[in-house]
């Protein structure tokens, strides 16, 4: 079955690759052509008529006719679509809405049409095809993909909303579905613990060659459940039981015996031992989750990781084609892109650049025009151009545009924090586990919340906090200046109780955040609800401030 699938993937993927290759050589022409197609297709909509799509001829016309909006600017249109009205933002039926958290506390609902689904499927096929060129055996075994439920509810107009990844999973052809280890109903199990147990039970029953899910914390959690629940998982595989009302599986005493031997020999059911033919992991490797991706080696071994690309509920944006990097090709055939230089983001009328006008090493905020009916949509993301492929930029997601703290003019960004923690890991030869840097406006300092397995000594803590202070200053000159002037005070360390990070994630999921989309907050303006009560001990830095070199 896998051979038939890979043959089809090679045939389709080659054609899609050639199409994108042509666009990367003439990005300006490709984007102008796509913009004309989208405007023509959706000119007979409420939004299209209001903004006179039929009069737009050039990108400059487009900028003049359509102002930049964030999601709140689209919400009134989307609410009409959710009520069942047609031809509001798009000129085709809406099949579902995919959801993500919004900045106002209300979720964002993004329309999904047949065209959106086709575009996402094309990008996924090309992503798999390019992996196949580098890893010919990665689909030889079973595939573990972990997604969210396709349907989480219905709009007032009776249109379903939920996860697009879950919907795609449901629609996998029967021929291919047999290679997928996890039956879709598993992802609809409401209880967090039982769902992961079921994922582990089905995955362990197969010889897996590829695991794929956006968030590396999901893979880490899976590895933990495999060991913590080893005995019940082995018993279920031996007896052919699955629980949760799912279909009964055939007993697999030989596979259970293999797993039992691994557990008795190593004291764990680590993925690298249970799946010796595991060839590749697919997950995000950049932004605030990059550190978690690097920690997967302990359980999965030194496997290559192929980033899933810069993707969001609003759009699929890049195509990574190399291992162990978040950078990827802009899909110039799917969305129209505009960029605002990061240092101009606060201007009332910032310069607008197209993809062929970007510069390597520079950071930009992104505006999207998508087949889902978002026009010049400010997604509030910052990306970095890491290089070029022909004439098209290679782009990596860095952080959300407003992921920053500013107690007294230091403008501390998440990427400053990530760089500082990476420096600490190198200096102390120790991975920094779940952590969060929290701004304390009352004390005018930054506080490191850290779930640490062991604190060697008070002296070690002093060295750690001093190194953190220095690393933040080296990565942010404004921080250094504010510390030198004592406008910012010395940081402190809160050692957190075991289970703090997991409890925080559980709470977020219980409140409606989708599991595979959950991103751990690295930098916050105040403690999150579970932070303060989980503090086991606080350590103050008593060393005098030394100006960083």
Q: Is 244 exposed, middle or buried (0-12, 13-18, 19+ CB in 10 A)?
A: middle
Q: Is the pLDDT at 402 greater than 90, yes or no?
A: no
pLDDT tier at 547, thresholds 50, 70, 90: very low
- Over residues 174-181, the mean pLDDT reads 80
- Over residues 33-49, the mean pLDDT reads 97
| More confident: 443 or 74 | 74
Note the pLDDT of residue 543. Answer: 63
**Is 43 strand, coil or helix?**
coil
Q: Is the pLDDT at 1 greater than 60, yes or no?
A: no
pLDDT tier at 111, thresholds 50, 70, 90: very high
Whole-angstrom CA distances from 13 to 18, 176, 317, 460 are 9, 16, 17, 53
Q: Is the pLDDT at 413 greater than 90, yes or no?
A: no
Rounded Cα gap, residues 294 and 285, in angstroms = 8
**Please, are residues 74 and 374 in contact by the beta-carbon 8 Å criterion?**
yes
pLDDT more than 90, % of the chain: 70
**Please, are residues 124 and 176 in contact by the beta-carbon 8 Å criterion?**
no
Note the pLDDT of residue 544. Answer: 53
CA proximity to 539, closest of 453, 422, 450: 450
Would you say the C-alpha torsion 261, 264, 269, 270 has a positive or negative sign? negative
Q: Is 267 exposed, middle or buried (0-12, 13-18, 19+ CB in 10 A)?
A: exposed
Give me the residues paired with residue 396 across strands: 384
Note the pLDDT of residue 546. Answer: 47
pLDDT tens sequence across 188-238:
998 888 999 999 999 999 999 999 998 888 898 899 999 999 999 999 999
pLDDT tier at 545, thresholds 50, 70, 90: very low
Q: Is the pLDDT at 536 greater than 70, yes or no?
A: yes
Rounded Cα gap, residues 148 and 521, in angstroms = 20
pLDDT tens sequence across 132-151:
999 999 999 999 999 988 99
Rounded Cα gap, residues 373 and 88, in angstroms = 9
pLDDT more than 70, % of the chain: 96
Q: Is the pLDDT at 439 greater than 50, yes or no?
A: yes
Question: Mean pLDDT lowest for which of 88-97, 368-377, 449-458?
Answer: 449-458
Rounded Cα gap, residues 217 and 295, in angstroms = 9
Note the pLDDT of residue 299. Answer: 96
Q: Is the pLDDT at 29 greater than 50, yes or no?
A: yes
pLDDT tens sequence across 280-335:
999 999 877 787 888 899 999 999 999 999 998 899 999 999 999 999 999 999 99
pTM over 0.85: no
Note the pLDDT of residue 175. Answer: 66
């Amino acid at each position: 079955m896998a051979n038939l699938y890979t043959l089809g993937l090679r045939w389709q993927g080659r054609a899609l690759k050639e199409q994108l290759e042509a666009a990367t050589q003439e990005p300006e022409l490709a984007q102008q052509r796509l913009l004309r197609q989208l405007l023509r297709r959706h000119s007979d909509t409420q939004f299209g008529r209001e903004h006179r799509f039929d009069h737009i001829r050039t990108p400059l016309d487009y900028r003049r006719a359509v102002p930049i909006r964030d999601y709140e600017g689209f919400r009134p249109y989307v609410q009409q679509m959710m009520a069942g009205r047609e031809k509001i933002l798009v000129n085709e039926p809406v099949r579902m809405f995919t959801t993500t958290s919004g900045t106002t506390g209300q979720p964002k609902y993004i329309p999904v049409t047949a065209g959106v689904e086709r575009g996402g499927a094309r990008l996924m096929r090309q992503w798999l095809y390019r992996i196949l060129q580098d890893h010919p055996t990665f689909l030889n075994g079973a595939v573990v993909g972990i997604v969210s439920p396709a349907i989480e509810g219905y709009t007032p107009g009776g249109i379903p909303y939920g996860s697009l990844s879950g919907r795609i999973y449901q629609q996998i052809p029967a021929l291919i579905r047999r290679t997928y280890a996890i039956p879709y109903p598993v992802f609809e199990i409401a209880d967090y613990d039982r769902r992961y147990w079921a994922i582990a039970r089905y995955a362990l029953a197969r010889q897996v060659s590829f695991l794929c899910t956006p968030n590396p914390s999901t893979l880490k959690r899976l590895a933990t459940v495999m060991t913590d629940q080893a005995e019940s998982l082995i018993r279920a595989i031996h007896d052919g039981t699955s629980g949760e009302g799912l279909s009964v599986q055939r007993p697999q005493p030989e596979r259970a015996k293999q797993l039992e031997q691994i557990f008795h020999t190593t004291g764990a059911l680590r993925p690298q031992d249970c799946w010796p033919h595991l060839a590749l992991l697919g997950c995000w490797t950049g932004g605030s989750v990059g550190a978690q991706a690097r920690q997967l080696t302990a359980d999965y071994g030194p496997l290559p990781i192929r980033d899933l690309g810069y993707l969001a509920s609003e759009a699929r944006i890049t195509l990574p084609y190399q291992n162990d990097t978040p950078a990827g090709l802009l899909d110039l055939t799917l969305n129209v892109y505009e960029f605002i230089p990061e240092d101009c983001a606060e201007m009332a009328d910032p310069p607008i650049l197209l993809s062929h006008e970007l510069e390597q090493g520079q950071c930009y905020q992104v505006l999207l025009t998508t087949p889902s009916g978002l026009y010049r949509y400010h997604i509030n993301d910052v990306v970095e151009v890491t290089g070029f492929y022909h004439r098209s930029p290679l782009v990596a997601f860095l952080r959300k545009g407003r992921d920053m703290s500013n107690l007294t003019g230091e403008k501390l960004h998440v990427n400053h924090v990530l760089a500082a923690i990476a420096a600490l890991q190198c200096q102390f030869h120790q991975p920094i586990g779940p952590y969060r840097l929290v701004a304390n406006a009352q004390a005018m300092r930054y506080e490191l919340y850290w779930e640490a397995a062991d604190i060697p000594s008070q002296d070690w803590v002093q060295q750690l906090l001093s190194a953190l202070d220095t690393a933040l200053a080296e990565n942010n000159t404004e921080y250094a200046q504010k510390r030198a002037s004592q406008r910012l005070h010395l940081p402190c360390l809160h050692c957190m109780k075991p289970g703090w990070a997991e409890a925080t994630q559980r709470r977020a999921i219980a409140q409606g955040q989708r599991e595979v989309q959950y991103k751990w907050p690295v930098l916050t303006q105040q403690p999150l609800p579970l932070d303060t009560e989980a503090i086991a001990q606080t350590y103050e830095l008593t060393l005098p401030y030394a100006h960083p070199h």
